[in-house]
Amino acid sequence: MKKSRAALTIFLFFLGWVFMYADRNILSPVMGSIGEEWGLNNTELGLMSTVFFAAYAFMQIPTGFLADRFGRVKVLVAGYLLFGVATFASGLASAFVFFLAMRALTGLGEGTYYGSQYGISSNITPKKYRGLVAALINSGMAFGISLGFMASSFFTYTLHKGWQYPFYIFAVPTVLIALLIGLFVRDNSKKHPAAESHPKADMKVLFTKQHILVYVLIFCSLYGFFGMLTWLPYYLQTARGVDAADTGFIASLVPWASIPGAILFGFLSDKIKSKKPLIIFLALAGAVCQFVIPYAHNGSLLIVGLILYGLLGKLALDPVLISYMADITPASMYSRVYGFFNFSGMLSSIFAPYVTGYFADQTGSLELGFYLSGGLLIIGAVLFLFTGKQTVSVPAYHVPEGKTS
């Protein structure tokens, strides 16, 4: 693939993450308003995110297999279009049940993106740049989180447009991005004639000890991340007394700080021989930051904790893990392994919003959710110590001798 087309592909994938995460985070600042309109408790508020993430996680594994078989671009674009339409319909919801259904459809649509996108981008990226390219694409998440937080707060509380308005606004560029990806992105994975490796060998490669421990670590990392994204603006409003119009800006400190952190650590991961020490360091650092946020008794320390979590937390760890997975997996199975990888992480997102809301109802405080997130990250880091040497179990595009398709 020519450099210009590769650069365009990377940029479009960056934009894809911008609007994926903008959509997810326009909900967080307006949860209070939605709860007042429909008389919801904290557990029900958490359920709004849980149904989205449950549908999103459900799509990860089938999407990986469908994308590798029928075409990553086709599967990605179809899902992204569904995501845009369902986002618009979310704003039309006049009842809680209908809103939940539309958030589930949004999750199904977004669920086609991760495995397909990283399958394509890993194929077009030389190994020595994988961490950096993954960080550049991932930075779209940071822009999207900030855009979603700030736009939702601005339209709803500053312009008084109502909580539905951000859903309408973001649906339009979402559909446009889907069309642009369909027009300009090409997948070169089918150029390899032996890309269809033996099914049994595939499953063994996807579940080595290295892979399983990565799946565990990404579960622990994303639990805290999505618990924070769901509840941080609401926590700032109710527990810290921050004005609703300002929560979007303060919550955006996490994604903005993550951009230099992700690029730095993605670059470092391409330069070092073993990514294992860096992965463990980032996991433990993220855990410490999760503890600092609820423990901080003054605004300045809270802001420091949020910024450090952005620099060292999930968004910094992600590109290193994505590059690590590409290093230990045959290229013919990238979409499938990233499907399992993201499925493992998104399982945590099903539980985190609901569990955090449940404990908040039981204890009257959201702080327990942060401590639980930090504890899980420590467990994930300790388990990751037991990964073996960083190797690819089966060479890319190779069918083992004595096996037939």
pLDDT at residue 204 in the model? 79
Q: Tell me: pLDDT of 193 over 70.
A: no
- Could you report the per-residue pLDDT of 5-53, keeping only the tens digit for each? 888 999 999 999 999 989 888 887 888 889 899 998 878 888 888 898 8
pLDDT at residue 190 in the model? 53
Whole-number Å distance between alpha carbons of 398 and 195 = 8
What is 3-187+198-384's CATH topology?
A: Growth Hormone; Chain: A; (1.20.1250)
Q: What's the rounded mean pLDDT across residues 168-188?
A: 92
- Could you report the per-residue pLDDT of 314-352, keeping only the tens digit for each? 888 988 998 898 888 887 788 788 888 888 988 887 788
Whole-number Å distance between alpha carbons of 211 and 188 = 25
pLDDT at residue 122 in the model? 79
Q: What's the rounded mean pLDDT across residues 354-358?
A: 82
Whole-number Å distance between alpha carbons of 118 and 196 = 18
Q: How far is CA 147 from CA 123, 139, 277, in A?
A: 29, 12, 33
Q: Which of 84-98, 142-156, 329-343 has the lowest mean pLDDT?
A: 329-343
Helix 209-238 × helix 367-384 angle, to 10°:
160
* Top-ranked range on mean pLDDT: pick from 46-55, 141-150, 273-282, 396-405: 273-282
| Domain residue limits, the chain | 3-187+198-384
Q: Tell me: pLDDT of 356 over 70.
A: yes
Quick one: what percent of the chain has pLDDT higher than 90?
A: 29
Q: Tell me: pLDDT of 216 over 50.
A: yes
First CA to last CA distance, the chain:
29
Q: Tell me: pLDDT of 396 over 60.
A: no
Q: Tell me: pLDDT of 248 over 80.
A: no
Q: What's the rounded mean pLDDT across residues 253-278?
A: 86
| DSSP secondary structure letter of residue 394 | S
CB 12 within 8 A of CB 184: yes
What are the structure tokens assigned to 387, written together? Answer: 């990964």
HSE toward the beta carbon, residue 249, CA cutoff 13 A: 8
Mean pLDDT estimate for the chain: 83
* Residue of 141, 341, 342 lying closest to 259 (CA atoms): 141
Q: What's the rounded mean pLDDT across residues 238-266?
A: 79
Q: Tell me: pLDDT of 283 over 90.
A: yes
Whole-number Å distance between alpha carbons of 306 and 313 = 10
Q: Tell me: pLDDT of 257 over 90.
A: no
Quick one: what percent of the chain has pLDDT higher than 70?
A: 91
